[in-house]
């Protein structure tokens, strides 16, 4: 029973993310999410309360999926292989264009909606923490050719690449092609973090 409830909640959150990326935050209504998820508005309100709570939870869900995938990576992976695996996870998430639109939308709304600012910050902090930990480990054990003092700057540069690329995909300035994004991200990671063979 609890498993069925959790699956239904996930389906609603996924539908909410799709609606936000298609129509924008302000234009997404509970009816839109209800139609997309195939459930009643009453069910949505039962699980999430208000529209604002639902949409905030949806953003948390998006980051939670990413972190779940990161957490599932083999602990035995060395720093460089872990970085490569995380790049693969990010590039393998469905709908780069939709995700790019979602993050653009959430970023622009964060000034007016403090609850979204907190969600957006937590997403970024989780992504940052996973990348930073792998780079720090590689700096400490010598498997990456970076000095420990440069970990913060290199991690920030690497994350800025993804932010910029998501903007370009969302704006249709570059193709929504996961293979191209992964190739370019790996190329940048090799130059920044210099894995030692």
Residue closest to 47 by CA, chosen among 25, 73, 37: 37
Residue closest to 124 by CA, chosen among 186, 81, 66: 66
Q: Is 197 helix (H, G, I), strand (E, B) or coil?
A: coil
pTM above 0.85, yes or no: no
Q: What is the pLDDT of residue 2?
A: 67
Q: What is the pLDDT of residue 100?
A: 75
Residue closest to 58 by CA, chosen among 97, 95, 100, 11: 11
CATH among 1.10.10, 1.10.357, 3.30.1150, 1.10.150 for 56-193:
1.10.357
Burial of 112 (0-12, 13-18, 19+ CB in 10 A): exposed
User: Scanning the structure block, which residue is given the tokens 């980051």?
Assistant: 63
pLDDT tens digits, 55-113: 778 877 776 777 788 888 888 899 999 999 999 988 887 777 777 777 777 777 777 77
User: Scanning the structure block, which residue is given the tokens 């440069």?
Assistant: 150
User: Scanning the structure block, which residue is given the tokens 């997403």?
Assistant: 123
Q: What is the pLDDT of residue 22?
A: 78
Q: What is the pLDDT of residue 64?
A: 72
pLDDT tens digits, 141-181: 999 999 999 999 999 999 999 888 888 887 888 888 889 99
What is the rounded average pLDDT of the residues 33-41? 93
Q: Which residues neighbour 23 within 8 Å (Cβ) at sequence distance 6 or greater?
A: 32
Helices 30-37, 41-48: inter-axial angle, 10-degree rounding: 110
Structure tokens at 169: 């995909």
Residues 149, 136: Cα–Cα separation, whole Å: 9
């Amino acid at each position: 029973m609890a498993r069925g409830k959790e699956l239904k909640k996930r389906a609603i959150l996924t539908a909410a993310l799709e609606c936000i990326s298609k129509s924008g935050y302000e234009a997404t209504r509970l009816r839109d999410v209800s139609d997309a998820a195939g459930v009643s508005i009453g069910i949505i309100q039962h699980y999430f309360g208000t529209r604002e709570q639902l949409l905030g939870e949806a953003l948390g869900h998006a980051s939670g999926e990413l972190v779940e995938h990161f957490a599932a990576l083999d602990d035995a992976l060395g720093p460089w292989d872990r970085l490569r695996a995380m790049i693969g996870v990010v590039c393998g998430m469905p709908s780069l264009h939709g995700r790019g639109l979602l993050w653009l939308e959430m970023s622009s709304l964060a000034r007016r909606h403090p609850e979204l600012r907190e969600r957006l910050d937590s997403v970024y902090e989780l992504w940052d923490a996973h990348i930073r930990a792998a780079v720090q480990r590689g700096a400490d054990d010598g498997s990456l050719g970076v000095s420990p003092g440069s970990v913060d700057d290199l991690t920030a540069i690497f994350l800025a690449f993804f932010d910029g690329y998501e903007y370009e995909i969302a704006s249709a300035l570059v193709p929504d092609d996961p293979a191209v994004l992964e190739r370019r991200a790996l190329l940048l990671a090799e130059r920044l973090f210099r894995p030692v063979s």
